[in-house]
Amino acid sequence: MTTLAFEQFQFELHLSESATKQDVRESELKLELKIAETKADLIRWIVGAGFLQTALIAALLI
């Protein structure tokens, strides 16, 4: 392989592995969606645990 062909191959390989702005934006949107889902799940668990704790304390006092 000649030096010029090797350099062309390296350049094309670099381009094929490079992320475009659209790729980065899509990844950011997926990450934001996952964070929002996790936040909602966490709030759901905390509220559920709070109700359970309140019911347990009320049952112990009665």
Q: What is the pLDDT of residues 6-56, one digit of tens each?
A: 776 766 666 566 667 888 889 899 999 999 999 999 999 999 999 999 999
pLDDT the model gives residue 23: 80
CA of 28: how far to CAs of 22, 23, 33, 34, 60, in Å?
10, 9, 9, 10, 48
Q: Can you tell me which residue has the tokens 């304390």?
A: 57
Locate 36 and state its tokens: 């929002």
User: CA-based Rg of the chain, rounded to a whole angstrom?
Assistant: 27
pLDDT for position 34: 94
Residue in the structure block whose two tokens are 């009665």: 62
This prediction's pTM: 0.56
